[in-house]
Structure 1
Amino acid sequence: MLSGQSALVLHGCACAEPAPIHVTVPYFRNVERRAGLVVHRGAVKPQDVVEIGGLRTVVLEVALAEVLCRDDRRTAMSCADQALALVPGSERAEFRACVEERIRTRPDPRGRRQGLSLLDLASGRVESPMESWLLLTVADAGLPLPEPQFVIRDLEGREIYRLDFAWNAAQVGLEYDGYEAHEHRQDRDARRDEDLRRRGWVIIRAGIDDLKEPSALIARIRAALQRRGFTE
């Protein structure tokens, strides 16, 4: 049956990789090796299996636990955020607890520490895989964690802006500029940042190059927080 990222694809996680195909089979079953197929051996309980589109796959919490423990951290982080976003907000805490239990009780202990740390970071509130990577970059640098999708309101309580991430106590915001989202809105973003500046905010913008080499970005964030006297 499908497992890992292949199962997440069926459950609706667009950031999971559709190839290679991951399957889990019983220990006693022989499976011919072939290109594009990754075979994992293990036991899957009947209650942990669902059928989606005519294909047997593991349930969402099992698939996510496996990806968090055994896949690269950036992919796993973005998958966790998307998987949590698929769950209604009222059920998210229970789902998170189920995933945590799956991680802690995995027969293979390898990757448990990674899985638990990434699950703790994920919120289901970020809006793109790159934003998930950006949050992971901030966490890896040892900086205080910002709040995702922070809403700024006017005096009447109406929403006027929504920041990708914010350290509200310091009034420092962090925005990810994806190419498609920001290619034709530089002027509007500049006006927005200026208005936020007048309201007391410092806005730091990050792009794909900052994810590749984050040292300069981390220095800018740390300096902005220090200027505001912000400490956890």
Structure 2
Amino acid sequence: MTPTDLSVLLSRPFTLAVAARHGIGRSVVRRLVRDGDVRRVIHGVYVGAHVVDTLEVRARAAVMVLPRGAVVCGRTAAWLHGVRVPADPRDEARRTAPIEVVVPVGAALPRRHGCRARVMALAAGEVVWPGGIPVTSPIRTAADLVRTSDRDTGVVVLDGFLRAGLIPAGASAGLLGRYAGHPGRYRLAEAVRLADGRSASEDETRLRLALLGAGLPPVEVGWELRSAFGRIIGRFALAWPAARVGVELTADRQWVRARHRSIAGQGWLVLECPTAQARRDPAATVARIGSEWRLRVRENAGDIAA
């Protein structure tokens, strides 16, 4: 084998069987690992040490040694589709999350370090091949994650898929009929009811749900401020336009700050909300925002409708 051929082999995950077909025996692979030229991705699969350790590399390695018909699913599938979803609480202490896969009904459930497998039947059209890796489709991935998550995490997931355009806005309601017979269908129904693809981040979604849970009126998500000529001049993460109260998520303060601003000739109450505070103490954050909103409504009772 020439150095060029060896470089090509090491640039992608490979098994010992693949190495043998290229004239490289088990002992040579072990020497390459020992010398630091090759590293093991998961048990039975290797790659050149120069290849960056990415989720795609690990997912590609996993399907090489799992039973025929294995498909990447769950959070791993979401990330491969380009949607960042909350980590599984079971993996908080792990340096890297396991690759989540599903194997066909009747296949032996594999137990391989670095993988988390389950048995599940997939219908036609529920498997796609981005980059040559079998992955559950965006709709199936979103439905699976929502059905097995708590309410807020499920809405975060669905918002992420909607925001990425992987599920058309009008198609989310179709999830209910498509997965009506699956476990977790009530969680899915609630997430569909609450989801809003205009949300720009997980923090926006969770704050919106917390405000709704505190009894405040529904907010507009991603409210765009426009000039008299229709030009977009700003955006609020969340807003009550009738009361002219807008919420901005910031990274530089320790507490919610209320400021009065004139925007496009209108007086707005702008609530600057630190994302760190919203994550650390959502109850206090919501209480402060609710207090400012109610004060604004009372002060303007004669001019605006609550």
Unaligned runs of 5+ in 2: 1-70, 88-95, 299-303
8 A contact 2:72–2:134 mirrored in 1: yes
The reply to whether residue 121 of structure 1 matches residue 207 of structure 2 is no
Number of the residue aligned with 1:218: 286
Following superposition of structure 1 onto structure 2, how do residues 1-232 of structure 1 map, counting pairs within 5 Å? 1-15=71-85, 17=87, 19-87=97-165, 91-94=168-171, 96-106=172-182, 108=183, 111-177=184-250, 179=251, 194-196=261-263, 199-207=266-274, 208-227=276-295, 228=297
Letter in 1 for 2:202: P
> How many residues of Structure 1 are paired with residues of Structure 2 in the alignment?
217
- Length-normalised TM-score, structure 1: 0.80
Q: Name the Cα RMSD after superposition.
A: 2.8
**CA distance in 2 between partners of 1:54 and 1:125 (Å):** 31
Which protein has greater RCO, CA pairs closer than 8 Å, 6+ apart? 1
CA gap of 1:37–1:88, structure 2 versus 1, over 3 A, is closer
**CA distance in 2 between partners of 1:231 and 1:142 (Å):** 17
Secondary structure of the corresponding residue to residue 125 of structure 2 = helix
8 A contact 1:80–1:119 mirrored in 2: yes
CA gap of 1:153–1:47, structure 2 versus 1, over 3 A, is closer
**CA distance in 1 between partners of 2:215 and 2:149 (Å):** 22
Q: Comparing both structures, which one devotes a greater share of its residues to helix?
A: 1
- Length-normalised TM-score, structure 2: 0.62
1:34 is displaced (CA, Å) by 3.0
Letter in 2 for 1:156: F
1:202 is displaced (CA, Å) by 1.4
List, as ranges, runs of 4+ consecutive aligned residues in structure 1 with deviation greater than 6 Å: none
Greater Rg over alpha carbons, structure: 2
